[in-house]
Amino acid sequence: MDLPLVYHADYEAPLPLGHRFPMQKFRALYERLLHDGVAQLAQFYEPDPLPRNWIEWVHTPEYVRHYCDGTLDPKAMRRIGLPWSPALVNRTCIAVSGTILTAQLALQHGLACNTAGGTHHAFPSYGSGFCIFNDLAIAARAVQKLGLAQRVLVVDLDVHQGDGTAFIFRGDPSVVTFSMHCDVNFPNQKQQSDLDVALPEGMEDGDYLRTLAHYLPDLLTQIKPDLVLYDAGVDVHGGDRLGKLALTDIGLLRRDMQVLETCAGLGFPVACVIGGGYADDFDALVYRHSILHRSASQVFRQRHL
């Protein structure tokens, strides 16, 4: 059996020129995985349309209605940073559904990866930082509501703090949030995760990996989650224009292998999303996102020999 992967063509919402670049990476990642032999077509699952009331497990009905209907006020749209369109609404809902499907597949098979996801800046009543609905939070609630898992751990290694996720689950012991992020980066006003590790600007591979190793194994053994949701943002890379850390491609590989091997070794299922990445070199960006799937494929094969 091969690693389960999730992709849907509707991840590619048509956007005005100037906004397209960040959205084109999803299809390019899918094609890169196939071209490089990392994945085969038979490994990919397509998410179903998402019932709107599932989004309301996390977000307020008013926000969901106004966003989906295109009646959100201009100030709220500017905070999101993306121009509204029916196509973007559809892409957003499909992407959330994709993370839910990834979580379900991870619970069945031990490990699964989405080719999108990681919209961790979305709060219950508003979006922020290119994030409209919080797919990580909705997926955590979905597996709980469906009776598939009780305790979820969010491991957020995007360079930006997972502020929306932290706010959504504040005071909720059933979902534990761990964010390891650059301290002097967006958002300016941080929220309180269950565990925040703020990193200094310019941190390189060695210090980053040692810091992660100091926290993750103990957290896993303490929490004993039914599911880990892993946000593998590549904006920690030194070549990322929004990052402010200094990891290399090898550092990303070692990070992803460290997370996945640690979780697998302790028997915890992991659902992975790609998180942020904003490099000017598009091909390099797509390759960096593919490192997650390359690492997951290796770990999955090792566990299923």
Residues serving a catalytic function are: 121
Q: Is 29 exposed, middle or buried (0-12, 13-18, 19+ CB in 10 A)?
A: buried
Within 10 Å of residue 23's Cβ, how many Cβ atoms? 18
Is there a contact between 47 and 101 (Cβ–Cβ < 8 Å)? yes
CB environment 152-166: b (16+ within 10 A), e (fewer): bbbbbbbbbbbbbbb
Q: Is 198 helix (H, G, I), strand (E, B) or coil?
A: strand
Is there a contact between 114 and 272 (Cβ–Cβ < 8 Å)? yes
Query: Which CA distances in Å does 37 have to 6, 30, 31, 33, 42?
Result: 16, 11, 10, 6, 12
Q: Is 202 helix (H, G, I), strand (E, B) or coil?
A: coil
